[in-house]
């Protein structure tokens, strides 16, 4: 059986491509509301920073066994990952239901993200990333906001018959999956409380001293708890909705995650002897089938489907003006490109452990290409037609403030993030040269 190849380089390409394109499309969409403008910019930069972090990780993976000094890539991987976490946690305060609506607060967002990122990047750099996991604690307020938005508008839809309210609960649900997708597939393992054994294994395997810090473990536990609760509450909410309104695509996605988590939990329980082998004997490897399962579920969800979900949010909620002629061709290219990159990656992965000849996998890829080209017009049309900005919904509810902000003031966020990117690269380069 061939070894499964890493998806990290593909994730890097997809994220960098999508991040740049969404920022470009946003620049070409001048008539958006401030929520869309701000939300789109934040989402674009989150994806871009994630992509840069994956790129650094991919370089480390590729050159792992060589003599090349990889410190610079280690620092950039962690630093960009850290910025994307801070941005992800801040994003929920602006999208889909903005908690910060005053002009003064919106204007402070780039300063807040920039300063907090710099403080944490330098602190983590000096502490050799021992407490990196603790940063995940920042997700707690964002999760509570998202789940509040989800239930508020789900209840509005079901109890008050407000059909347009689905837009917001759907957006909140999608963003929860985008931010916590990996941990959502570990819900059963967290409920029966066996994730700590996996944390223990990682700690021993990685050299206990550096990884058994309490703040880091609190961060891990926060994320896995959020994942478990998110899966169960979204599943409960979608079941309720399905009984009244019937099944939707989002309901199916939630059930899929629920099912994957169920199987993963059982698989995790079955390998506990191997997990604990580190403590009592030596760290035995997991079975190949177990690794394949996680590659196709958790890893694929994080590395490949998270960018897809982000792209869907950008298009379906009309964050970028995909309907205008100027943007239409670029949107089409990026949609087709991303779907094809992800499809071909999945086919390649399948081929690495299934005895499928290259001719068959090429034929499958050709079929996928044909389907995407044939349906491209329809997919795009559907996305654009369905696309309605959530700011319109919030305006109709009179729950949105229209602050006096011009485009330049909003664009400052992008300039601040670009400066942060450059500063981070220089800092990591200097630090890796000094140490």
Partner 1 sequence: MEKDSGDVRDVLTNLYSNSTANRYIAATVLALVVVFSYTGYDTLVYRHDVIQNYAEDNEWLVSFETVNDTLQQTVVLQDEESRDLEFDMAGFSVPDDYRIGYIEVQITGEESAGLVSGNQCDSIAGDIVRNELTAQWDDPSNNLSGQDSSCVPIDLRLGVYPDFDGEDRTVQSINEYQALMDWTEEGWGEGFLVLTLELDTNSNTPFIGVDDDEEITIDINVVMFRASVEAIE
Query: Would you tell me which residues interact with partner 1 (CB under 8 A)?
Result: 97-103, 105, 144-145, 147-149, 151-152, 154-156, 159, 190-191, 193, 195-197, 199-200, 203-204, 208-209, 212, 214, 217-218, 220-222, 224-226, 228-229, 232-233, 237, 279-282, 397-403
Taking the least distance from each CB to partner 1, the nearer of 169 and 316 is 169
Smallest gap from residue 227 Cβ to partner 1 (A): 10
- Rounded to a whole number of angstroms, the minimum distance from the CB of residue 283 to partner 1 is 10
Please say which residue, 54 or 97, places its beta carbon nearer to partner 1: 97
User: Measured between alpha carbons, how far is 55 from 40 in angstroms, rounded to an integer?
Assistant: 22
In order, the DSSP letters of 296-319 are IIIIHIIIIIHHHHHHHHHHHTTS
Q: Which is nearer to partner 1, 156 or 299 (CB)?
A: 156
Q: How far is the CB of 102 from partner 1 (least distance, A)?
A: 4
Please, what is the minimum distance in Å from the beta carbon of residue 330 to partner 1? Answer: 33
Minimum distance of partner 1 from residue 402's CB (angstroms): 8
Nearest residue (CB) to partner 1, 168 versus 174: 168
- Gyration radius of the chain over CA positions: 22
Minimum gap (Å) between residue 266 Cβ and partner 1: 18
Nearest Cα to Cα of residue 214 among 134, 315, 140, 312: 134
Beta carbon nearer to partner 1, 189 or 421: 189
Helices (H), 354-402: 358-386, 390-396
Helix, strand, coil in percent for the chain, rounding step 5: 80, 0, 20
Degrees to nearest 5, angle at CA 98 with 145 and 17? 95
Element (H, E) at 403: none
Burial class (CB in 10 A: 0-12, 13-18, 19+), 104: exposed
Q: Which is nearer to partner 1, 117 or 231 (CB)?
A: 231
State the Cα–Cα distance between residues 411 and 388, nearest whole angstrom. Answer: 22
Residue 356 CA: distances (Å) to CA of 1, 362, 364: 12, 10, 11
Least separation in angstroms between residue 405's CB and partner 1 is 11
In the complex with partner 1, the residue whose CB is nearer, 206 or 433, is 206
Contact between residue 155 and residue 237 where contact means Cβ atoms under 8 Å apart: no
């Amino acid at each position: 059986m061939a070894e499964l190849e890493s998806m990290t380089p593909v994730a890097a390409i997809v994220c960098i491509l999508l991040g740049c394109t969404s920022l470009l499309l946003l620049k070409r969409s001048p008539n958006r509301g401030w929520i869309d403008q701000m939300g789109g910019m934040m989402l674009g930069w989150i994806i871009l920073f994630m992509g840069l972090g994956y790129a650094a990780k991919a370089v480390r993976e590729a050159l792992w066994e060589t003599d090349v000094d990889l410190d610079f890539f280690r620092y950039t991987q962690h630093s960009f990952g850290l910025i994307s976490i801070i941005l992800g946690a801040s994003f929920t305060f602006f999208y889909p239901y903005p908690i910060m609506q005053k002009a003064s607060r919106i204007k402070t967002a780039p300063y807040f993200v920039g300063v907090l990122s710099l403080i944490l990047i330098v602190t983590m750099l000096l502490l050799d990333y021992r407490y990196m996991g603790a940063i995940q604690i920042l997700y707690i307020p964002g999760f509570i906001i998202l789940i509040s938005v989800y239930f508020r508008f789900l209840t509005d839809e079901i109890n008050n018959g407000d059909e347009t309210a689905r837009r917001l609960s759907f957006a909140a649900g999608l963003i929860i999956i985008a931010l916590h997708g990996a941990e959502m597939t570990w819900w059963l393992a967290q409920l029966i409380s066996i994730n700590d054994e996996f944390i223990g294994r990682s700690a021993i395997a990685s050299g206990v001293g550096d990884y058994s810090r309490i703040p880091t473990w609190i961060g891990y536990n926060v994320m896995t708890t959020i994942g478990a609760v998110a899966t169960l509450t979204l599943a409960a909410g979608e079941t309720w909705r399905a009984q009244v309104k019937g099944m939707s695509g989002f309901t199916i996605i939630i059930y899929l995650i629920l099912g994957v988590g169920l199987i993963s939990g059982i698989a995790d329980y079955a390998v506990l002897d191997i997990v604990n082998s580190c403590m009592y004997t030596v760290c035995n490897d997991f079975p190949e089938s177990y690794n394949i399962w996680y590659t196709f579920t958790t890893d694929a969800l994080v590395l490949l489907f998270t960018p897809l979900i982000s792209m869907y949010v950008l298009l379906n909620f009309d964050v970028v003006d995909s309907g205008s002629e100027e943007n239409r061709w670029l949107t089409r290219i990026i949609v087709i490109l991303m779907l094809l990159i992800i499809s071909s990656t999945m086919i390649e992965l399948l081929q690495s452990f299934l005895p499928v000849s290259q001719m068959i996998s090429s034929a499958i890829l050709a079929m996928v290409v044909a389907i995407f080209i044939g349906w491209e017009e329809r997919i795009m049309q559907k996305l654009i037609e369905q696309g309605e900005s959530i700011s319109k919904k919030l305006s109709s509810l009179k729950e949105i403030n229209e602050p006096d902000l011009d485009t330049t003031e909003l664009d400052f966020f992008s300039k601040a993030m670009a400066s942060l990117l450059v500063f981070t690269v220089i800092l990591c380069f200097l630090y890796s040269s000094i140490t």
